[in-house]
Protein backbone atom coordinates (compact mmCIF):
# COMPACT_ATOMS: atom_id res chain seq x y z
CA UNK A 1 0.00 0.00 0.00
CA UNK A 2 1.39 3.43 -0.91
CA UNK A 3 0.22 6.90 0.10
CA UNK A 4 1.05 9.99 -1.91
CA UNK A 5 0.19 13.49 -0.69
CA UNK A 6 0.43 16.51 -3.01
CA UNK A 7 -0.28 20.01 -1.76
CA UNK A 8 -0.29 23.09 -3.98
CA UNK A 9 -1.40 26.66 -3.36
CA UNK A 10 -1.98 29.86 -5.30
CA UNK A 11 -2.60 33.49 -4.23
CA UNK A 12 -6.33 33.36 -4.96
CA UNK A 13 -7.06 29.93 -3.60
CA UNK A 14 -5.65 27.02 -1.74
CA UNK A 15 -5.68 23.68 -3.51
CA UNK A 16 -4.86 20.40 -1.89
CA UNK A 17 -4.73 17.17 -3.84
CA UNK A 18 -4.67 13.94 -1.95
CA UNK A 19 -3.77 10.87 -3.96
CA UNK A 20 -4.29 7.50 -2.35
CA UNK A 21 -3.08 4.50 -4.30
CA UNK A 22 -3.80 1.08 -2.99
CA UNK A 23 -1.55 -1.70 -4.16
CA UNK A 24 -2.64 -5.12 -3.19
CA UNK A 25 -2.76 -8.64 -4.50
CA UNK A 26 -1.79 -12.16 -3.75
CA UNK A 27 1.80 -12.69 -2.82
CA UNK A 28 3.83 -13.76 -5.82
CA UNK A 29 1.02 -13.18 -8.30
CA UNK A 30 2.42 -9.89 -9.59
CA UNK A 31 -1.01 -8.33 -9.27
CA UNK A 32 -0.66 -4.68 -8.22
CA UNK A 33 -2.51 -1.36 -8.55
CA UNK A 34 -6.01 -2.76 -8.43
CA UNK A 35 -7.55 0.57 -7.46
CA UNK A 36 -6.72 4.21 -6.91
CA UNK A 37 -8.62 7.15 -5.50
CA UNK A 38 -7.90 10.83 -6.04
CA UNK A 39 -9.53 13.42 -3.79
CA UNK A 40 -9.18 17.13 -4.51
CA UNK A 41 -10.32 19.71 -2.02
CA UNK A 42 -10.50 23.34 -3.11
CA UNK A 43 -11.10 26.17 -0.65
CA UNK A 44 -11.52 29.72 -1.81
CA UNK A 45 -12.37 32.75 0.25
CA UNK A 46 -15.35 34.66 -1.11
CA UNK A 47 -16.99 37.58 0.71
CA UNK A 48 -15.75 36.62 4.16
CA UNK A 49 -16.82 32.98 3.69
CA UNK A 50 -15.09 29.88 2.47
CA UNK A 51 -16.43 27.83 -0.42
CA UNK A 52 -15.51 24.20 -0.30
CA UNK A 53 -15.74 21.91 -3.31
CA UNK A 54 -14.60 18.37 -3.81
CA UNK A 55 -13.90 16.12 -6.74
CA UNK A 56 -13.65 12.40 -6.70
CA UNK A 57 -12.04 10.33 -9.36
CA UNK A 58 -12.23 6.66 -8.72
CA UNK A 59 -12.18 3.40 -10.55
CA UNK A 60 -12.98 1.38 -7.42
CA UNK A 61 -15.29 -1.50 -8.18
CA UNK A 62 -17.92 -2.52 -5.58
CA UNK A 63 -17.22 -5.74 -3.76
CA UNK A 64 -19.11 -8.53 -5.47
CA UNK A 65 -22.39 -9.30 -3.69
CA UNK A 66 -22.33 -6.10 -1.58
CA UNK A 67 -24.83 -3.30 -2.28
CA UNK A 68 -24.07 0.30 -1.41
CA UNK A 69 -26.26 1.94 1.24
CA UNK A 70 -28.04 4.97 -0.19
CA UNK A 71 -29.89 6.85 2.59
CA UNK A 72 -31.89 9.00 0.18
CA UNK A 73 -33.14 5.95 -1.69
CA UNK A 74 -34.03 4.29 1.60
CA UNK A 75 -36.16 7.29 2.57
CA UNK A 76 -38.17 6.89 -0.63
CA UNK A 77 -39.12 3.30 0.13
CA UNK A 78 -41.30 3.98 3.18
CA UNK A 79 -43.62 6.69 4.46
CA UNK A 80 -42.50 5.90 8.03
CA UNK A 81 -39.67 8.41 7.68
CA UNK A 82 -41.81 11.31 6.47
CA UNK A 83 -41.95 14.37 8.72
CA UNK A 84 -45.62 15.15 9.58
CA UNK A 85 -46.99 18.44 8.30
CA UNK A 86 -49.96 18.42 10.69
CA UNK A 87 -49.09 20.75 13.61
CA UNK A 88 -51.10 18.53 15.98
CA UNK A 89 -48.96 15.47 15.28
CA UNK A 90 -45.71 14.69 17.08
CA UNK A 91 -42.56 15.13 15.00
CA UNK A 92 -40.44 12.73 17.04
CA UNK A 93 -42.88 9.82 17.30
CA UNK A 94 -41.58 6.59 15.75
CA UNK A 95 -42.64 2.97 16.30
CA UNK A 96 -44.79 3.97 19.28
CA UNK A 97 -48.24 2.41 19.03
CA UNK A 98 -51.38 3.68 20.75
CA UNK A 99 -51.57 0.64 23.04
CA UNK A 100 -48.14 1.42 24.51
CA UNK A 101 -49.03 5.09 24.89
CA UNK A 102 -52.22 4.18 26.79
CA UNK A 103 -50.38 1.69 29.02
CA UNK A 104 -47.83 4.34 30.01
CA UNK A 105 -50.64 6.77 30.91
CA UNK A 106 -52.27 4.09 33.05
CA UNK A 107 -49.00 3.50 34.90
CA UNK A 108 -48.69 7.24 35.52
CA UNK A 109 -52.11 7.11 37.17
CA UNK A 110 -51.06 4.12 39.29
CA UNK A 111 -47.97 5.93 40.57
CA UNK A 112 -49.92 9.08 41.43
CA UNK A 113 -52.59 7.09 43.30
CA UNK A 114 -49.99 5.27 45.39
CA UNK A 115 -48.22 8.56 46.07
CA UNK A 116 -51.51 10.04 47.29
CA UNK A 117 -52.08 7.15 49.71
CA UNK A 118 -48.56 7.44 51.12
CA UNK A 119 -49.11 11.17 51.53
CA UNK A 120 -52.23 10.48 53.60
CA UNK A 121 -50.23 8.02 55.73
CA UNK A 122 -47.60 10.69 56.31
CA UNK A 123 -50.27 13.13 57.49
CA UNK A 124 -51.73 10.53 59.87
CA UNK A 125 -48.46 9.60 61.58
CA UNK A 126 -47.48 13.27 61.79
CA UNK A 127 -50.49 14.10 63.98
CA UNK A 128 -49.68 15.33 67.48
CA UNK A 129 -51.76 12.56 69.07
CA UNK A 130 -50.01 9.84 67.00
CA UNK A 131 -46.51 11.34 66.95
CA UNK A 132 -44.57 8.62 65.16
CA UNK A 133 -42.08 10.82 63.33
CA UNK A 134 -40.08 7.96 61.85
CA UNK A 135 -43.13 6.47 60.13
CA UNK A 136 -44.26 9.95 59.07
CA UNK A 137 -40.87 10.61 57.48
CA UNK A 138 -40.84 7.19 55.83
CA UNK A 139 -44.21 7.65 54.14
CA UNK A 140 -43.45 11.26 53.20
CA UNK A 141 -40.35 10.15 51.29
CA UNK A 142 -42.23 7.20 49.83
CA UNK A 143 -44.90 9.56 48.50
CA UNK A 144 -42.25 11.76 46.91
CA UNK A 145 -40.60 8.72 45.33
CA UNK A 146 -43.85 7.48 43.75
CA UNK A 147 -44.55 10.96 42.44
CA UNK A 148 -41.07 11.06 40.93
CA UNK A 149 -41.83 7.76 39.20
CA UNK A 150 -44.95 9.33 37.69
CA UNK A 151 -42.92 12.32 36.48
CA UNK A 152 -40.31 10.00 34.98
CA UNK A 153 -43.04 8.19 33.05
CA UNK A 154 -44.46 11.53 31.89
CA UNK A 155 -41.06 12.63 30.61
CA UNK A 156 -40.69 9.33 28.77
CA UNK A 157 -44.17 9.67 27.27
CA UNK A 158 -43.39 13.06 25.76
CA UNK A 159 -39.93 11.90 24.65
CA UNK A 160 -41.54 9.16 22.55
CA UNK A 161 -44.05 11.59 21.06
CA UNK A 162 -47.02 10.45 23.13
CA UNK A 163 -49.62 12.59 24.89
CA UNK A 164 -49.87 12.54 28.67
CA UNK A 165 -53.42 12.03 29.93
CA UNK A 166 -53.95 12.37 33.68
CA UNK A 167 -56.87 10.41 35.13
CA UNK A 168 -58.84 10.92 38.32
CA UNK A 169 -57.25 10.06 41.66
CA UNK A 170 -59.40 8.48 44.39
CA UNK A 171 -59.42 9.90 47.90
CA UNK A 172 -57.30 7.73 50.24
CA UNK A 173 -58.04 6.60 53.79
CA UNK A 174 -57.42 9.10 56.58
CA UNK A 175 -57.45 6.73 59.56
CA UNK A 176 -54.98 3.86 59.87
CA UNK A 177 -55.52 2.68 63.42
CA UNK A 178 -56.32 -1.02 63.84
CA UNK A 179 -57.63 -2.62 67.03
CA UNK A 180 -55.58 -5.83 66.82
CA UNK A 181 -52.56 -4.83 64.72
CA UNK A 182 -52.09 -1.22 65.69
CA UNK A 183 -51.58 1.63 63.23
CA UNK A 184 -47.90 1.03 62.44
CA UNK A 185 -48.24 -2.63 61.44
CA UNK A 186 -51.52 -2.04 59.62
CA UNK A 187 -50.04 0.81 57.55
CA UNK A 188 -46.85 -1.12 56.76
CA UNK A 189 -48.78 -4.21 55.64
CA UNK A 190 -50.91 -1.97 53.44
CA UNK A 191 -47.73 -0.44 51.98
CA UNK A 192 -46.39 -3.92 51.21
CA UNK A 193 -49.59 -4.82 49.36
CA UNK A 194 -49.42 -1.55 47.41
CA UNK A 195 -45.82 -2.17 46.35
CA UNK A 196 -46.75 -5.64 45.11
CA UNK A 197 -49.63 -4.08 43.19
CA UNK A 198 -47.29 -1.56 41.56
CA UNK A 199 -44.92 -4.40 40.65
CA UNK A 200 -47.75 -6.29 38.97
CA UNK A 201 -48.79 -3.17 37.02
CA UNK A 202 -45.20 -2.68 35.84
CA UNK A 203 -45.10 -6.26 34.60
CA UNK A 204 -48.34 -5.61 32.70
CA UNK A 205 -46.76 -2.53 31.11
CA UNK A 206 -43.73 -4.59 30.14
CA UNK A 207 -46.01 -7.26 28.62
CA UNK A 208 -47.68 -4.64 26.43
CA UNK A 209 -44.27 -3.39 25.29
CA UNK A 210 -43.07 -6.91 24.46
CA UNK A 211 -46.30 -7.68 22.60
CA UNK A 212 -45.80 -4.63 20.37
CA UNK A 213 -42.04 -5.25 20.01
CA UNK A 214 -41.23 -1.87 21.53
CA UNK A 215 -37.69 -2.63 22.67
CA UNK A 216 -37.14 0.92 23.91
CA UNK A 217 -40.12 0.77 26.26
CA UNK A 218 -39.09 -2.69 27.46
CA UNK A 219 -35.61 -1.41 28.29
CA UNK A 220 -37.03 1.66 30.04
CA UNK A 221 -39.33 -0.35 32.31
CA UNK A 222 -36.72 -2.97 33.14
CA UNK A 223 -33.83 -0.60 33.78
CA UNK A 224 -35.70 2.17 35.61
CA UNK A 225 -38.40 0.39 37.64
CA UNK A 226 -38.42 -3.39 38.01
CA UNK A 227 -35.19 -3.81 39.97
CA UNK A 228 -36.02 -0.94 42.30
CA UNK A 229 -39.50 -2.33 42.86
CA UNK A 230 -38.39 -5.74 44.13
CA UNK A 231 -35.92 -4.01 46.46
CA UNK A 232 -38.79 -1.97 47.92
CA UNK A 233 -40.86 -5.12 48.42
CA UNK A 234 -37.99 -6.79 50.26
CA UNK A 235 -37.40 -3.76 52.50
CA UNK A 236 -41.04 -3.40 53.56
CA UNK A 237 -41.33 -7.15 54.10
CA UNK A 238 -38.56 -6.88 56.69
CA UNK A 239 -40.34 -3.96 58.36
CA UNK A 240 -43.58 -5.95 58.56
CA UNK A 241 -41.74 -8.89 60.14
CA UNK A 242 -40.09 -6.60 62.70
CA UNK A 243 -43.36 -4.89 63.63
CA UNK A 244 -45.07 -8.25 64.07
CA UNK A 245 -42.27 -9.22 66.42
CA UNK A 246 -42.24 -6.12 68.62
CA UNK A 247 -46.02 -5.74 68.89
CA UNK A 248 -47.88 -2.56 69.77
CA UNK A 249 -46.88 0.02 72.34
CA UNK A 250 -43.26 0.45 73.37
CA UNK A 251 -41.95 -1.86 70.62
CA UNK A 252 -43.58 0.31 67.97
CA UNK A 253 -41.91 3.38 69.46
CA UNK A 254 -38.47 1.75 69.21
CA UNK A 255 -39.18 0.73 65.60
CA UNK A 256 -40.22 4.30 64.84
CA UNK A 257 -36.94 5.60 66.26
CA UNK A 258 -35.03 3.18 64.04
CA UNK A 259 -36.86 4.52 60.95
CA UNK A 260 -36.17 8.08 62.05
CA UNK A 261 -32.44 7.37 62.20
CA UNK A 262 -32.40 5.53 58.87
CA UNK A 263 -34.45 8.17 57.06
CA UNK A 264 -35.21 5.60 54.37
CA UNK A 265 -38.07 5.59 51.89
CA UNK A 266 -39.75 2.70 50.12
229 is in an annotated binding site: yes
88 is in an annotated binding site: no
Tell me the CA distances in angstroms from 24 to 2, 28, 69, 210, one per residue in order: 10, 11, 25, 49
φ/ψ of residue 14, rounded to 5: -120, 120
119 is in an annotated binding site: no
Burial class of residue 233 in the structure, from the number of CB atoms within 10 Å of its CB (0-12 exposed, 13-18 middle, 19+ buried): middle
- Nearest C-alpha neighbor of 58 from the set 21, 5, 15: 21
- Ramachandran assignment for 38, one of left (phi > 0), alpha (psi -120 to 50 degrees), beta (any other): beta
146 is in an annotated binding site: yes
Name 150's Cβ contacts closer than 8 Å, sequence gap at least 6. Answer: 108, 111, 112, 115
195 is in an annotated binding site: yes
Task: Show binding-site residues.
Answer: 111, 146, 149, 195, 229
Task: Show binding-site residues for Fe cation.
Answer: 111, 146, 149, 195, 229
Amino acid sequence: MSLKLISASSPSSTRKILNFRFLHGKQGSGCHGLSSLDLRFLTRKQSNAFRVSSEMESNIRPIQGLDWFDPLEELKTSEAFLVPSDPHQSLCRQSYVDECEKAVNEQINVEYNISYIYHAMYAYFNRDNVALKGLAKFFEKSSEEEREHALKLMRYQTMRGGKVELYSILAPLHEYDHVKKGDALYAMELALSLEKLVNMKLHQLQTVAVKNRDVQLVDFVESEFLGMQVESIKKISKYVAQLRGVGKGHGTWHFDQMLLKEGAAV
